[in-house]
């Protein structure tokens, strides 16, 4: 149990350092004018940034912050059907903080209405309702306060802290939240790139997609006393690109879905939306479009930008083969190859490289010369499919993909060449060096044994007795010599 608790604590410690995978950027040029100051177009299928404009410039998000508000609520909610009461004391103070009264979003809700958490999420995401966002922030902020050891801060302030903690966890390095409702605050900012990361994450949070992409919603709780005509009590998504019911709607875009819009005098018009068509899925982020065109005409320029970008993507992007698996990428020499065969091997990609590509850009502009060979020369035998190196595809300074290079066919080894090579290299081989070392060691051991045996032999040899030190005389010879001696004496 202690080990489990320790592991759990470690995960919580590491959580803030987790990061979403970065979207790879190719940077295809979008030739038409964009009214929005910042823009980003991402493929949801491949996580590739197709084009961008000032994607890292801080901008006021406005009600786009409701995306994060919804994420915090959904990840901490135990029961979406729990009913909450709209308390005017919770959200009325916000009205006095709004610098431009015209920015106040209008939605048909009343004080003391009873709505489920799910109702409030729809209300917030479709209409940017301050009543809904502040009620949710207050409710969940109180839950977070229970672990803050008697904090005297407002529940909504505690909720915003959770929003910023989540932003840090997701790697939104250029984002700061100061409120959950999204009304203008100069201290609240984000970027198109951070909003794209946040939205991609949110789309994988349970219930977020269905809520944020709904075109209309009717509250589950009737509240008949305040809303007697319940059939007319319906909330419509503020993204007019979804509205296919109005024949005069010039902003309708087939395949567009949600997710959030923002219209603030101080921050311009902004939108985060997704669109699907013919099996391709894109995410568009447009920030700070003007309220009027250059001619002074009042217009939803952010919707124009979103439609133009998405049209461009659907018309000009498709999955293309940038490098075929059969392409010959070069050849390398092979040592000890059989005389009856070739003494080189041809390399090809292990697999084809396919990528979402713009038909306005010629694929011949892709650099395929960045090859790294594992060896300058290979040695037979080489089998088809053996790894030889790798190639990296580069376009406009950006690495598109790296794929391994493998042998196209077998290259057999010549036995004669191999035996000669082994003989030449034997004295340099590890086996030879080890054999010499072992031989020297055995010789030394043998010499030591011989010396030891000699010492033992000498120490065990018996000394000669003194009597045997003087040679014995033959008695017969002694007798024969005496007469001669006597004769000598006589003379």
What would the pLDDT profile of 385-419 be if each residue is shown by its tens digit? Answer: 999 999 999 998 889 999 999 999 988 887 767 66
Which token pair is 76? 């901490």
DSSP per-residue codes, 163-186 = HHHHHHHTT-TT-B-S-SS----T
pTM of the model: 0.78
Listed in sequence order, the DSSP H helices in 18-116 are 66-76, 88-95
What would the pLDDT profile of 233-274 be if each residue is shown by its tens digit? Answer: 999 999 999 998 888 899 999 999 999 999 999 899 999 999
User: Helices 117-127 and 130-145, interaxial angle, to 10°?
Assistant: 130
Judge contact between 349 and 403, C-beta under 8 A.
yes
CA distance 71 to 77: 10
What would the pLDDT profile of 340-358 be if each residue is shown by its tens digit? Answer: 668 889 999 999 999 999 9
pLDDT for the residue numbered 340: 65
CA distance 158 to 149: 12
pLDDT at 424 over 80: no
Reduce the secondary structure of 366-380 to three states and give it as a string: CEEEEEEECCCCEEC
What would the pLDDT profile of 117-138 be if each residue is shown by its tens digit? Answer: 999 999 999 999 999 999 999 9
pLDDT at 477 over 70: no
Residues 6+ apart with CB under 8 A from 98: 104, 183, 184
Chain mean pLDDT for the chain = 86
pLDDT at 425 over 80: no
Torsion of the alpha carbons at 129, 131, 134 and 136, rounded to the nearest 10 = -90
């Amino acid at each position: 149990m202690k080990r489990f608790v320790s592991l759990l604590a470690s995960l919580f410690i590491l959580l803030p350092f987790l990061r979403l995978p970065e979207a790879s950027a190719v940077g295809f040029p979008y030739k038409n004018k964009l009214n929005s100051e910042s823009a980003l177009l991402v493929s949801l299928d491949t996580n590739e940034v197709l084009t961008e404009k000032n994607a890292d410039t801080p901008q006021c998000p406005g009600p786009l912050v409701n995306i994060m508000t919804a994420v915090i609520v959904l990840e901490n909610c135990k029961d979406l059907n729990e009913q909450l009461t709209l308390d005017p004391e919770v959200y009325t103070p916000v009205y006095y903080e709004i610098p431009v009264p015209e920015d106040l979003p209008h939605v048909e809700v009343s004080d003391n209405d009873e709505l489920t958490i799910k109702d409030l999420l729809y209300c917030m995401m479709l209409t940017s309702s301050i009543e809904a966002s502040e009620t949710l922030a207050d409710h969940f902020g109180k839950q977070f306060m229970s672990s803050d050891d008697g904090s005297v801060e407002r529940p909504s302030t505690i909720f915003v802290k959770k929003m910023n903690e989540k932003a840090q966890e997701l790697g939104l390095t250029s984002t700061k939240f100061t409120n959950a409702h999204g009304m203008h605050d100069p201290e609240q900012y984000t970027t198109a790139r951070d909003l794209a990361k946040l939205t991609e994450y949110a789309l994988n949070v349970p219930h977020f997609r269905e809520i944020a992409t709904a075109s209309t919603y009717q509250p589950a709780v009737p509240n008949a006393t305040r809303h007697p005509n319940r059939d007319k009590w319906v909330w419509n998504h503020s993204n007019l690109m979804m509205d296919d019911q109005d024949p005069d709607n010039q902003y309708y875009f087939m395949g567009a879905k949600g997710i959030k819009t923002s219209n603030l005098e101080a921050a311009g018009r902004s939108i985060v939306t997704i669109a699907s068509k013919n099996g391709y899925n894109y995410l568009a982020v447009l920030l700070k479009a003007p309220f009027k065109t250059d001619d002074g005409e009042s217009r939803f320029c952010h919707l124009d930008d979103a439609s133009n970008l998405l049209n461009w993507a659907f018309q000009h992007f498709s999955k293309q083969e940038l490098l075929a698996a059969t392409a010959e990428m070069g050849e390398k020499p092979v040592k000890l190859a059989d005389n009856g065969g070739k003494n080189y091997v041809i390399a090809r990609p292990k697999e084809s490289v396919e990528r979402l590509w713009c038909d306005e850009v010629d694929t011949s502009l892709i650099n395929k010369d960045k090859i790294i060979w594992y060896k300058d020369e290979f040695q037979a035998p080489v089998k088809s499919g053996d790894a030889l190196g790798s190639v990296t595809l580069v376009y406009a300074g950006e690495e598109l993909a790296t794929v391994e290079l493998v042998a196209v066919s077998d290259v057999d080894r010549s036995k004669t060449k191999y035996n000669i090579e082994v003989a030449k290299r034997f004295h340099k081989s590890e086996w030879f060096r080890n054999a010499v070392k072992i031989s020297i060691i055995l010789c030394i051991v043998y010499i030591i044994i011989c010396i030891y045996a000699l010492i033992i032999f000498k120490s065990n040899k018996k000394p000669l007795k003194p009597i045997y030190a003087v040679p014995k005389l033959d008695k017969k010879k002694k007798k024969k010599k005496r007469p001669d001696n006597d004769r000598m004496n006589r003379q």
